[in-house]
Structure 1
Amino acid sequence: MFKQIVLIMALIVAAPLSLAADSKTNPKYEGIEITVNINSAGAEELAALLNGVGLKKAQAIVSYRDEHGSFKTAQELTAVKGIGEGLVTRNLDRIKL
């Protein structure tokens, strides 16, 4: 019983700390406006500057752009396989055309 109480208390104390860590931005970019032009950036730049976009998704964006032409809106990114509404919404302030 004592072990369970100690475990519960530890979880209560640790939970807010882990949530706070998730909500912080990368200190490397704190105070810097990060934007990327999805019509001209290469895969490496897209992967580095868009949240939730790794090299594979970034390459898919570039391939789609090469095949279909420039994006007219940020929402058009959802036509790229692996890119959903949530990812676009999360990056709206970073995406430039």
Structure 2
Amino acid sequence: MDAAKERVTVLFLSFVSSNWRKFLIPIIIFAALLFFLFFPREQSNSANIVMSDQNPFPELIEEPKLEEIVVDDAPNLIIVDVKGAVLHPGVYTMQEGDRLVDAISAAGGYLPNADSRMLNHAMKLADEFVIYVPLEGEEVPESTLNVVSEPSSTPSTASEGSVNINTSDEAGLMTIPGIGPSKAAAIIAYREEHGLFSATTDLMKVSGIGQKTFDKLESFIKIK
């Protein structure tokens, strides 16, 4: 019995040793099929998932540029001089578009004995504007009242309230919108050196007064 088993074993080993190449090739092919059918598919799917979250050409994507929008909200400032029967007379910085009533409020309001009947509280302010508030019963030159009480867009009123640049003193000249202390002094200095103005356009010969300034002053001045 043992001899028979030994013989069968010898025959099997002999068969395998002589035919191992025939069995090896199918086994390799079968193993390769199993490898490509199962293991690579999972890897490929996971690789695709990872790559889907990445941009293959990051250098081609340009980040949007944020444009800076600068908004200039700063209002234009003007300086006005409030005189007379107010609580705090003085020079005040206002905003372009403010009205005469705003300047009066900035100066603390009227004194109890102020006479504001001739003042136009809705009048728009201009740079270097002079506002004079008289007391009750005080006699004030008509030109002073008209300049601060009537809008310049009315030709007849502007003519009635115009200031004589040949006869007015420094205070009178300063009632003209746009004429401050320095320009008033320059006008008087010009008169003393060259004599009276023969035409309103001669005002442009005064230092600091050009064509644009004259255009703003023309409706408020006269020479006779």
State the TM-score bracket (shorter-chain normalisation). Answer: 0.5 to 0.7
- Provide structure 1 residue ranges, at least 5 long, that are not aligned to the other structure: 1-7, 12-17
Larger RCO of the pair (alpha carbons < 8 Å, separation 6+): 1
| Matching residue of 1:75 | 201
Q: How many residues are treated as equivalent by the alignment? A: 81
Deviant stretches of 4+, over 2 Å: 21-26, 30-34
Task: Please list, as runs of the form range in 1=range in 2, the aligned pairs for 1:17-96 lying within 5 A after superposition.
Answer: 21=97, 24-26=123-125, 28-30=148-150, 33=158, 34-48=161-175, 50-96=176-222
Task: Please list, as runs of the form range in 1=range in 2, the aligned pairs for 1:8-23 lying within 5 A after superposition.
Answer: 21=97
From the superposition, tell whether residues 85 and 22 of structure 1 become closer, same or farther in structure 2 (CA, over 3 Å): farther
State, as a whole percentage, how many aligned pairs show the same letter: 33
What letter corresponds to residue 42 of structure 1 in structure 2? D
Compute the TM-score of the two structures, normalised by the length of structure 1.
0.68
What's the RMSD between the two structures over aligned residues? Answer: 2.8
Could you give the per-residue CA deviations for residues 46-80 of structure 1, whole angstroms, max 9, x where no partner exists?
012x2211011101100101110110111111111
Q: Could you say which structure has the higher strand fraction?
A: 2
From the superposition, tell whether residues 29 and 63 of structure 1 become closer, same or farther in structure 2 (CA, over 3 Å): same
Q: Could you say which structure has the higher helix fraction?
A: 1
What letter corresponds to residue 30 of structure 1 in structure 2? E
Larger radius of gyration: 2
What letter corresponds to residue 94 of structure 1 in structure 2? F
Compute the TM-score of the two structures, normalised by the length of structure 2.
0.32
Task: Write the distance in 2 (CA, Å) between the matches of 1:65 and 1:43.
Answer: 12
Cα drift, residue 22 of structure 1: 6.1
Task: Write the distance in 1 (CA, Å) between the matches of 2:179 and 2:216.
Answer: 11
Task: Write the distance in 1 (CA, Å) between the matches of 2:214 and 2:98.
Answer: 19
